[in-house]
Amino acid sequence: MEMNRPFIHLFNNMGNFYLYDVNLNQICRISKDTYLDLKKLLKDENNFEIETKREICKFKNAGLLSDKRPIKLEHPVIKYLPCYLNHRMRHMILQITQDCNFRCTYCIYSENANEKQRTHLNKKMDWETAKKAIDFFIQHSSDIMNTCSIGFYGGEPLLEIKTIKKCVEYIKYEYSAKDIRFNISTNGSLLSDENIEFLLKYNFLVQISLDATKDINDKNRRLASDGLGTFDMILSNIEKICSKYTEFLKNININAVYDPENDFSVFNKALYLIENKYHIKVKMGVLDDSYSISKIYYNKNYTEKYNYELFLTLLHKLGRLPSYKITPAYNDLLSDVDKLSAIIGVGGEIVYRGGPCIPALNRLFISVDGNFYPCEKVSEHSPCMYIGNLDEGFDIKNIINLLNIGKLTEKQCCNCWAIRYCKICAKHADGGINLSRELINKQCFEIKLEIERIFKYYTLINNI
């Protein structure tokens, strides 16, 4: 009996040993002896002595330890893509303006921080382009019977509140039968009573940017006019909503960006206090350096404090620290852990990586000029991120390229144990004119480390 290398990943956690079977997408606890035997088997294709051991035979009889690998990477939606794009679009984001009244040092549109993105410009979407975009979206979402959504983005979109109002009024008049939800991302400075009442009237979901404490926020988030800090102004508007428009609080969340140069524990606890004081959900994200001139450095102090707070969170999840409150920093992590329970299925010959979304289907970003991009986070200067325009429609070829970025590294991906959970999206492969194999390869090691960490948290929390 010969057995080629099984398609598995081995890891240990807190003195226990585990086998992750890629084909069955299953994690099993194993003995230390079996762990060591399987490690040897992964290095030696033919080892009869190991293959005949009792526990290994038991796993094989249960369908585990198969050596089958996928032979091709291809997203299953591709064959239906034109039909889906023509009828099933769910979310459109209009770049109402490229201007902003803030100059945040870490902004992807910063004149000093970014390398590949556009900068702040005094360009705005005219009404004819906005109307054309709305009509396009409605026509291409005809099969969606439940809620669709339209977002307004900038720059700072409330600088063009008149255009936003015109868009909403047009939708409500022309497409009143369509269930459309509105959302907006704002820096929070222009939330006047008039603007709040409009957003409330049309049930907008509002994301306000605010970075934890006054010192932390004002270090990076400053006014364009005079360079002064913005924390007091934003917080005052939030408190106004809390006192005068309490029914609107359920529609608001705060987005905080963490700069690793700050004290993590202070930042984390401040977000928890904001969330509980104002009863507003807080989301936290780490600085994105995808298009930045300088790369983010995580110092030892950050790592130690992050891991300590994570340790407390895990103790709480295990019931050992009931009084501890989970802070916003770990919401996404715990969500990833919970998702492991929901992902099932047997691997086949044709698979696709878990990371790429379906460009334009779940999210279509339309620039002030009417150009299409998969989302607001990619570069508007990169030809490989461009997926069409309002005059010519979708560029199906480019959409397929983004959806199938795994083709660039197909051979190694088909042999990678982390393929189901890989989060490398097209943005991280943006080489400008073309998608870059080298940029993908640079991230593989860190991605696999993160997936293994999630496996460890999953086995710990679920007592596997």
For 7-35, write each residue's pLDDT tens digit: 999 999 999 999 999 999 899 999 999 99
Pairing of strands 91-95, 148-153: parallel
Which residues of the chain are modeled with pLDDT < 70? 1-3, 45-48, 51, 113, 115, 340-347, 354-356
Q: What is the pLDDT of residue 368?
A: 98
Assessment of whether the complete model's pTM goes beyond 0.85? yes
Residue extent(s) of CATH 3.20.20.70 domains in the chain: 75-302+344-407
- How far is CA 22 from each of CA 27, 150, 199, 216, 288, rounded to the nearest angstrom? 9, 38, 47, 43, 30
Q: What is the pLDDT of residue 325?
A: 73
Tokens of 359: 């460009």
Terminal-residue alpha carbon distance, the chain: 31
Angle (nearest 5°) at CA 387 between 414 and 420: 25
Distance CA 169, CA 191 (A): 20
H or E segment to which residue 302 belongs: helix 300-317
Q: Phi/psi class of residue 256: alpha, beta or left (left: φ > 0; alpha: ψ in -120 to 50)?
A: beta
CB 296, CB 258: distance < 8 Å: no
Helix (H, G, I), strand (E, B) or coil at 252: strand
Residue type present at position 350: I
Q: What is the pLDDT of residue 48?
A: 65
Q: What is the pLDDT of residue 1?
A: 35
Q: What is the DSSP string of 183-236?
A: EEEE-STT--HHHHHHHHHTT-EEEEE--SSHHHHHHH-BBTTT--B-HHHHHH
Give the closest residue to 195 by CA, choosing from 221, 232, 156, 229: 156
Q: What is the pLDDT of residues 201-220, one digit of tens each?
A: 999 999 999 998 999 999 99
CATH topology of domain 75-302+344-407: TIM Barrel (3.20.20)
Give the closest residue to 46 by CA, choosing from 98, 97, 3: 3
Q: What is the pLDDT of residue 347?
A: 63
